[in-house]
């Protein structure tokens, strides 16, 4: 426990800009819930892509995105997302070693790894199913 870290308070000294945001808050949350955020963004992206491609094909008979393109796009997005999740897990692990970012330590690693698995699992079907 870092007993004597300076207390993060609003400064009322000039330049009078409030400094409420503590250093590292963003980083802490990134390492903690970054994985699930990637998961949800990826899920939204592949879902919307598939929905758009298939609806366009069905109702308007325009090939918005062809079946093959859709498949490639989904796989590409999935690879990127998995890499991102794993990278976050590694970063969280490192942060744990340096004993910073309290929550990220215990929570970030399982969450990021779980997110990687979830991303991959969500998109497994695209390899075997016909898209629309």
- Residue 15, burial from CB neighbour count under 10 angstroms (0-12, 13-18, 19+): exposed
User: Cα(17)–Cα(11) distance, rounded to whole angstroms?
Assistant: 7
Write the CB contacts of 95 (distance below 8 Å, at least 6 apart in sequence).
Answer: 31, 101, 104, 105, 108
Which residues sit at the interface with other proteins, rule CB under 8 A? 1-3, 5, 7-10, 12, 15-18, 20, 22, 24-25, 28, 32-33, 36-37, 39-40, 43, 46-47, 50-52, 54-56, 59-62, 70, 99-103, 105-107, 110-111, 114-115, 117-118, 121-126, 129-132
Q: How far is the CB of 132 from other proteins (least distance, A)?
A: 4
Q: How far is the CB of 83 from other proteins (least distance, A)?
A: 19
Q: Which is nearer to other proteins, 73 or 87 (CB)?
A: 73
């Amino acid at each position: 426990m870092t007993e004597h870290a300076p207390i993060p308070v609003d400064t009322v000294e000039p330049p009078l800009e409030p400094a409420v945001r503590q250093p590292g808050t963003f980083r802490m949350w990134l390492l903690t819930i970054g994985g699930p955020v990637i998961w949800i963004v990826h899920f939204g992206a592949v879902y919307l892509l598939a929905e758009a491609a298939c609806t366009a094909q069905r109702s308007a008979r325009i090939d918005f995105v062809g079946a093959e393109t859709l498949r490639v796009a989904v796989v590409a997005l999935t690879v990127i997302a998995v890499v991102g999740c794993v990278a976050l897990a590694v970063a969280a692990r490192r942060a744990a070693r340096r004993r910073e970012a309290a929550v990220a330590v215990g929570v970030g690693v399982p969450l990021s790894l779980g997110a990687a698995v979830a991303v991959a699992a969500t998109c497994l079907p695209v390899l075997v199913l016909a898209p629309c």
